[in-house]
Amino acid sequence: MSLSRFVQSPLNVKLTGMLPVGLARCCTQLLGWIYFLRNPKIARDVMVGFSHSAGKEWPGRISMRVYARIFLGILEHYFEKLLMAYNPIEKTQDMLRAKCDVPDESWLRTLGPGQRGGMMLTGHFGAVEFLPLALALRGYRNAVILRYATPHLKKAHEHLERAVYPAIRLIDADEGLLRHRAIEALAEGRILITACDEFKKWRPQPGHFVTVFGRQVLRDNSLDAFYDRVGAPVSLGVMLRENGRYSLEITPLADGKEAVSLSCRAWGELEKYIQRYPEQWYQWAKVRDLLSLKKDHAHANRQDLDLPAGDSVQPGGHPQPS
């Protein structure tokens, strides 16, 4: 059973909708620690993934306190997922109005009413679950490509979509006609949100590489092909957690006309955030597989370990070219 399914136990779902946020968070954290204790391999994968990639640049020995922050960051993501799906939407809206800042909206303003939409790439980073609602609360209609861990979660999100539509449209990546629905969302002037670090869904293209934590791996060109097809402006959007608040940081990536490898540029910008805030990224177990990392103990001397050559973006899934 995945961590996502584990923390979505019926009791925890009910408590998330009933308890104050602080107490509900404690319940999810407790369940999360139980999960990692029962699944030590997954916990080791997280530690190895960090220590052999971004952790290689960490000054000195990586302490258990650092690992604890990373595990707590992973659990915070799943708690935010529960809040979005099962907490009363009015409470979540009030929280984001009070606690979410957007330091620079200049890229968003270029997508004014009556114009074609743009793409906002993001990652499994920070408070990504709140990204669509944060945009909608500022008047920016959007569509988000995502996958659901459970049928119950899908049903909860469909209820959420009805509550906030037309501000937010949810596109299930597993329902088919993904490219068509993504293009339709852009034609409506929406911001199309998708992830650039969905490693498990990457389709490696021979001869095309991206540098991930200093290692060259074969990349997925789906984003590049879709960008060439639609010619829409693109940015990277990340929801940083900062001292109990949230900050939507937006980095323009391409103007829709520029010839660029969007997948490489997007990952390069996202990796900068990951290096600076490693506790806010929750793909550490999956990056171990991407980079074909050895399953050595995470406390080993990292200077003596080399990574073998590798073989091979809640938002997830890429619109595929025709």
The domain segmentation of the chain, as residue ranges, is: 3-304
The residue ranges of DSSP E strands in the chain, in sequence order, are: 100-101, 118-122, 142-146, 168-172, 191-195, 204-212, 215-220, 234-242, 245-254
Hunting for tokens 């323009």 — which residue is that?
252
What pLDDT, in 10s, does the model give residues 278-319? 999 999 998 887 887 544 433 333 332 221 222 223 445 555
Please name the residues in contact with 196: beta carbons below 8 A apart, sequence gap of 6 or more: 121, 122, 123, 223, 236, 263, 266, 267, 270, 313
Hunting for tokens 């258990």 — which residue is that?
64
SS3 116: coil
Give pTM, 2 decimals.
0.85
The secondary structure of 18-31 as a DSSP string is: HS-HHHHHHHHHHH
What pLDDT, in 10s, does the model give residues 154-189? 887 777 778 887 899 999 888 888 899 999 999 999
CA quadruple 257, 221, 153, 71: dihedral sign: negative
- Which amino acid, one-letter code, is at 154? K
Cβ 174 vs Cβ 104: under 8 Å: no
Angle, alpha carbons 68-41-58 (nearest 5°): 40
CA quadruple 169, 172, 176, 178: dihedral sign: positive
Percent of the chain with pLDDT over 70: 88
Mean pLDDT of the chain: 86
Show the tokens assigned to 228.
């060439």
Least confident window among 26-35, 264-273, 285-294, 303-312? 303-312
Q: CA 135, CA 176: separation in Å to the nearest integer?
A: 26
